[in-house]
Amino acid sequence: MKSERLYVDNELVDIDELTKITLNFKSNLFRDVSRLTSNNTYTIKLPKTVRNQKILKHTDLVQSSSSFPYTMHKVRYFRNGIEVIKDGRLTVLQATEDAIEACIVWGLFSNFSDLMRAGTTLNQLESNDRILYKDSNEVVSYEDAVKANYFYAYYDVWAHEKKVVEAWEEGDRMIYPLDGRVEKRKNNFGGHRGGDEGISNLHPVVKASFILDLIKKNTGVRFSFCADAQKYIDTLIIPLINKKSNELTFDRKFKAELQPTTTSGLMTLKEREGNNIFSVPNGVGMIEAKSDADIIINVKGTWEFDITGLHPHTGTGRHWGEGDYYMIQFYFIKMIITRKNKEDKDESFVIGSAKDIDLVRVPRGYQGVCRYEIFGGGKVSVKAGDTIKFEWYHKGYNVLSSSSPNFLGGTIDISVLSGEEVPHNGYFPIANNLPKIKVIDFIKFLSVVTGTFPLQIAEDNIISFEPLSKVWENREEAKDWTEKVIAQSDENKPKRIDFKLSDYAQHNLYKWKADNTVGSYDGDLEIDNETLDAKKVVYEFPFAATDGNNVPMYTAPKEGKKEDKPSYKACKDRILRLEKGENGKAVAVFDINMQDILREKYRHIGESLQRAKVITEKIRISDIELLDYDETKPIYLAQYGNYYAITEIKADEAGFAEVTMFQLY
């Protein structure tokens, strides 16, 4: 006797004899990466019982305002005590007169669904990781790079202008392997590049494996690649072509104290909280900017003077109101920004009131100390090398013989406003500058270049990738299904046989994103079958290829032009590989040739597709065998004397299945 239980959102639903649940297991082994699919069921008819109406939120009512039919719902399905579907998703298809019709997907889709629905891109992943970005950045050693998640590696950041050559030229150049030398060459624009002193305008690189870790932390889904594939992924690095700033770019506020003084002139400072943009050089009463930045600066202070022994100003009394008036020389703080570039104009700002002499009213007969609080602040712009100093200042000469004014002390608070780009000596936010590539597309790319495919049955929140060749390598572990086949006739022939896979054409192209690259690194998986379509783009990578190690982000100023800095323009996203240079430094190279990858990792699939035979048979299969289904293990059928990879299983409730199998060569 058959026993079935179906749970929707952890509630047991009613099923009857019309609720036929046909399970459809699918493998992605022979599917192109752009058409990954999940296991699913045929249409399931749920009876309109009171219990089901409550669980399904009266979906069949026109006046129902429930969102139930517009969302996916968690499903578990037990057959004969065996949990066949552990983490499925149910979708309502329609409501008819007799039933509410739905379908279930499970396997790969359960973990992919949220990512696909959200459309999350790599640069939307959240992380506090950052790296200091200087005017010139030192390339790390290869050993340090292997242990790090992001770092500086040597690659060419310059856009090289293509020259039109009319005269005949000839020659050659080695593009791989690169020698990895970091030469010390001087440019007359933007500094030097090369040598241990650092490389100008060099952006950090991020490991692909670190991005996989970020995806896991942000989404809860772990993509687990087989050992060889993971080893290759560990060498993949992505240059951060964008350099957008955010709250991670700058450290906390810069804070300093203005020290007390009784004499006019340059004031002394004491740093209380430093950051990466400002410093107070030892023994110098000024703040030096280490980077270009827009800042909000606020300065406060307190000063006092003593009117003991002074005579009130004549004319006080009823004419000017109650109290005594004293004519006082006023002091204030003068903030001076001295520009490093002499072509830029120095600026000065007032903290307090820039008065010369003013009347101070005190209670009649008061003799003693008068105290003032002064303040000033606002937005100013500084460039690297500019200095900010503060002077205790007054206009003209003292006109009264009062005691010297006494500055009691003050504070300086500087907040950095985030600009659009990371400045030198600012921090490069890692996640914020990752490529704007969907997480799913990034995973598909890794799958293609490693020659792996995702398994349908996996652990919770883990999607496992195995080599495309594994089903061939597992022939010794093949399951013998010879006796399970239900023969259609006395003839030794399958129920159906096809001679091609619809996913493929004669030329199956794997293309890099178009860019101004010289070499061709696309791949073409050729199938000698004239009945197929002539050509098909199987997959276009989210990255552009490049020659050698060139990531053209910066253009040198043209000769004769006034500017002395290179111009920056983000190019299309690139992905490179980490190698060790001759000097032991980390070197980024591009050697990801898809044709070579197809030749090496897609060999078995390519050979089998040349003489494709896809057979369909009716098979006896138990629920336990469905649960233990392993798409990396081939099937052996003695009646044909061949091994087969299962591509699809359509299993009914009666213990029979229609199985589609691809013949292995």
279 near 287, Cβ under 8 Å?
A: yes
- pLDDT tens digit string along 119-131? 899 999 999 999 9
Question: What's the rounded mean pLDDT across residues 37-61?
Answer: 89
Where are the alpha helices (H) located in 32-162, listed in sequence order?
Answer: 50-55, 108-118, 142-147
pLDDT of residue 489: 76
- 487 vs 525: which has the higher pLDDT: 525
User: For the chain, what percent of residues have pLDDT higher than 70?
Assistant: 88
pLDDT of residue 88: 86
φ and ψ of 623, to 5 deg = -65, -35
Instruction: Provide the CATH topology of domain 254-417.
Output: Jelly Rolls (2.60.120)
Question: What's the rounded mean pLDDT across residues 471-479?
Answer: 94
192 near 184, Cβ under 8 Å?
A: yes
For the chain, what are the domain ranges?
4-106, 254-417
Asked whether the predicted pLDDT for residue 398 surpasses 60, the reply is: no
pLDDT of residue 561: 62
Structure tokens at 452: 């792996």
In our burial notation (b when 16+ CB lie closer than 10 A, e otherwise), range 44-62 reads: bbbbbeeebbebbebbbee
Q: What is the DSSP letter of 633?
A: S
649 near 24, Cβ under 8 Å?
A: yes
Asked whether the predicted pLDDT for residue 175 surpasses 60, the reply is: no
- What is the Cα–Cα distance from 413 to 436, expressed in whole angstroms? 36
Torsion, CA 451, CA 457, CA 461, CA 467, rounded to 10: -10
- pLDDT tens digit string along 423-454? 888 899 999 999 999 999 999 999 999 999 98
- pLDDT tens digit string along 321-346? 578 888 888 899 999 999 999 889 99
| Most confident segment among 266-280, 483-497, 571-585 | 571-585
pLDDT tier for residue 201 given thresholds of 50, 70 and 90: very high
317: left (phi over 0), alpha (psi -120 to 50) or beta: left
pLDDT of residue 116: 73
C-alpha 471: how far from its chain's center?
A: 33
Burial class (CB in 10 A: 0-12, 13-18, 19+), 14: middle
Q: What is the DSSP letter of 514?
A: P
Positive or negative, the Cα torsion across 435, 440, 443, 448? negative
Task: List residues bridging with 382 in a β-sheet.
Answer: 293
Question: What's the rounded mean pLDDT across residues 521-538?
Answer: 92
- 106 vs 554: which has the higher pLDDT: 554
pLDDT of residue 171: 62
Positive or negative, the Cα torsion across 192, 195, 198, 202? positive
pLDDT of residue 65: 87
pLDDT of residue 665: 86
Count of residues making up the chain: 665
Comparing CA positions, the residue from 382, 330, 370 lying closest to residue 351 is: 330
Comparing CA positions, the residue from 143, 154, 161 lying closest to residue 185 is: 154
- 395 vs 270: which has the higher pLDDT: 270
Question: What's the rounded mean pLDDT across residues 381-386?
Answer: 92
- 161 vs 72: which has the higher pLDDT: 72
pLDDT tier for residue 283 given thresholds of 50, 70 and 90: low
- What is the Cα–Cα distance from 5 to 81, expressed in whole angstroms? 9
- What is the Cα–Cα distance from 251 to 249, expressed in whole angstroms? 7
- Which residue is associated with the tokens 């005594």? 324
- pLDDT tens digit string along 182-192? 433 333 333 33
Question: What's the rounded mean pLDDT across residues 14-21?
Answer: 88
76: enclosing H helix or E strand: strand 73-79
pLDDT of residue 186: 36
Other Cβ atoms less than 10 A from the Cβ of 116: the count is: 14
**DSSP symbols for 451-463:** TEEE-SS-STTEE
- 400 vs 583: which has the higher pLDDT: 583
Comparing CA positions, the residue from 566, 567, 564, 568 lying closest to residue 343 is: 564
pLDDT of residue 164: 56
Asked whether the predicted pLDDT for residue 251 surpasses 80, the reply is: no
- pLDDT tens digit string along 502-526? 778 999 999 999 876 667 899 999 9
Helices (H) and strands (E) in the chain — how many of each?
Answer: 10, 47
Q: Supply the mean pLDDT for the chain.
A: 86
- 571 vs 520: which has the higher pLDDT: 571
- 398 vs 112: which has the higher pLDDT: 112
